[in-house]
Structure 1
Amino acid sequence: MGACLGRLGWTPEAFWKATPREVAAALAGLGMRPGPGAGRLARPELAALMRRFPDEVGTEGGTGDDRTR
């Protein structure tokens, strides 16, 4: 995120609208490569994240997006 906002001059909105593939391509253009451990999550790690951050809509009719709270 820092490289996209700082070195590339993206706005936060542009960063959050970009796909992971677009971010990776932009970083590759800067000569940056993913570090060790980067890549896909194993299923148990994904399941743990899904339990911790469910995509359920609350009873108040919200979107489930914590960034607006």
Structure 2
Amino acid sequence: MAGFDWPALMRAGLHGLRLKPCEFWALTPAELAMMLGQSKGVAPMSRGQLDQLLAAYPDQEGKRDD
């Protein structure tokens, strides 16, 4: 995949952060970036935003997705 320096990311994760390979590969790019100190990202959802989301998409009694 273009745009990722995989050897450098793997060195940072496996050597620098001392992650096990399964832990490294289970991370999302955003999680790895945060662990490496690159905290630029999306602000967490506020309580008001969560309430709006819950109002727009309420749980339906008895409905299961599985």
Identify the TM-score tier after normalising by the shorter chain.
Answer: 0.3 to 0.5
Rg: which structure is higher? 2
* TM-score, length-scaled by structure 2: 0.41
* TM-score, length-scaled by structure 1: 0.39
